[in-house]
Amino acid sequence: MRLLTYLNQDQMRLGYLNCVALVAGRQLDSHASLLRRFEDFIFRKIHPEDPNYQQGSLLVGHKKPTQGRMRATGWSAGKGRLPKQGATDSPIHYLHEIWLNQPEVGDATGIIVRSGCAQILKMARYMGLIGPSYALTELGVLVQGILLDMDQEFPNGCLDLNPFHIWKRPILALSNLFVVLSADILMPFLVEIYSLQPLASERKTVKNSAPGVRKKRASSARQYMNEAPEPQVNDLVEAINHLIGVLNKELPIDQTLVLKEIQGLRQRLVSQTESSLENQFRPRRQYLVDLGLLERIPGVADHEQPFSPVLATQRAANAWRELRNSPLKQHVLIQRNFFRWSAEIYGFLARPAENDLRRLDYFARGFPLVGREIGFTPARTVALAGCLLAIEEGVIIEVDEMFRMMSEMAKGPYRPYLHYSGGSRLDREFLIRVDVDPLRERLRQDGVGRRISGGPRK
């Protein structure tokens, strides 16, 4: 079971993970080197003479920025100085600032300060995208491979290639969901709490509140509706209480340290001020917004809690019931059910793969996204890549299902195209190299095509 015990408001957007994946590599790295490349990438300056400047200004706004906003975008960092009072020069825009202001992203929440960049690298480590040596993990390589498959120019920092627009391609959003769901078991519990609140379309009067919803207090600032939720920052503590309640029921004796760690997190949160609690809460809430599992209500100040559940929130709460009932099986359940859950949550038009040859074809297509140029690649990473490509075309294949199929293929007629290495009788993991083009040609000869049976509605 994995749980994010440290978060702060410098780690606000999932798009940060995509940015880190674009500048990191598989080779051993250093913190200073990776941090420098990350800063160079997101703080690329768009000067007034740049052809893209006008487009960026339309997004960020023509008003002269306040000192607070200039500091937020790194203007005052390093050797840079704030312009003199009354200066008329056009402000310099930063690339990530323009990305965050693009309509597809939703809003500019998450403007990065230079002092927070190290925290974003920590975020990538805690989420499992980079390892202790600051090299990409296999999951990080997958995220990078998806971005490069979308456009090879992503690492160059182009205005039109926005790593914060995670729904530009649904499998990018699903890979981000996989990362967060695998890293933080609290997410299903927080979603359940939101799912009990009425949808925005239903929150016209108190009488329309769904049964079981907590009592609301009136708020004159929310004139567009006659009731308002309790301060949502307390939802995180409630989610932790639910998790502790589940673990208290059937916790094996060898897992007592897990419960102690969670209880320690709860104690820290309860004893902190509300502003400290928001460091843990606000990023989690924003991740749900990024993933389409929560909706920000426009035109309402942030302190007025302008967030409401959507239909996908309720679907996710239903889909993740087993995760909440068995949090210690987090990894196993995700490997078995993630793509079925995703189809239910987002309303994808998808059905299970009809046979193993179909699965093998997607496995082969997933290999170029993550395959190493030299040596062998962990088969489970290739399986995940293939499953993502499959659901994009309306086919549901689970990672465990794909992995078991590949174990069987070692004995079949396609063995000459599959080169296995490693493996263990204990964990059944193995490495693999795939002759992609010859294998797919053989599969085509055997009647396996790329017939699309559906796809995501989003």
Q: Is residue 311 a part of any domain in this protein?
A: yes
- Verify that 211 and 300 share a domain, yes or no: yes
Query: Same structural domain for residues 93 and 237?
Result: no
274 within domain boundaries = yes
103 and 217 part of one domain:
no
Q: Which amino acid is located at 186 in the chain? A: L
In a domain, 454, yes or no: no
Q: Global pTM?
A: 0.85
β-pairing, 351-352 with 395-396? parallel
CATH of the domain at 369: 1.10.10
- Tell me the mean pLDDT in the region 201-205: 50
In terms of domains, do 140 and 266 share one? no
User: Pick the residue with more confidence: 13 or 274?
Assistant: 13
Give φ, ψ of 343 to 5 degrees. Answer: -65, -40
Stretch 111-137: mean pLDDT? 96
Average pLDDT over residues 107-118: 92
Instruction: Give yes or no: residues 233 and 354 share one domain.
Output: no
Q: What is the pLDDT of residue 255?
A: 80
Domain range for 54 is 15-167
* pLDDT tens readout for residues 393-416: 999 999 999 999 998 898 889 999
**Beta-strand pair 418-421/431-434:** antiparallel
Same domain membership, residue 199 and residue 253: yes
Is residue 66 predicted with pLDDT exceeding 60?
no
Task: Count structural domains, the chain.
Answer: 3
Average pLDDT of the segment spanning 96-125: 92
Is the separation of the CB atoms in 418 and 308 below 8 Å? no
Same structural domain, 158 and 24? yes
8 domain residue, yes or no? no
Average pLDDT, rounded, for the chain: 83
450 inside domain: no
Beta strands in 227-363 (DSSP E): 295-296, 307-308, 351-352
When mean pLDDT is compared across 203-212, 298-307, 339-348, the lowest value belongs to 203-212
For residue 141, the model assigns a pLDDT of 97
Q: Are 57 and 111 found together in one domain?
A: yes
Same domain, 321 and 190: yes
pLDDT at position 130 over 80? yes
Predicted local confidence at residue 407, as pLDDT: 87
Q: Are residues 319 and 352 in the same domain?
A: no
Is the pLDDT confidence value at 223 over 90? no
Nearest to 3 by CA among 188, 176, 132: 188
Highest mean pLDDT among 11-25, 38-52, 273-287, 401-415 belongs to 11-25
78-82, 161-165, 354-358, 376-380: least confidently modelled range: 78-82
- In this structure, the answer to whether residues 162 and 28 fall within a common structural domain is yes
72 within a domain of the structure (yes/no): yes
pLDDT at 299 over 80: no
Rounded Cα distance between 292 and 106, Å, is 11
How far is C-alpha 116 from the chain's CA centre? Answer: 19
pLDDT beyond 60 at 229: no
| Length of the chain, in residues | 458
User: What backbone torsions phi and psi does residue 374 show, to the nearest 5 degrees?
Assistant: -125, 135
Q: Which of 8-17, 96-105, 173-182 has the lowest mean pLDDT?
A: 96-105
* Pair 20, 155 in one domain: yes
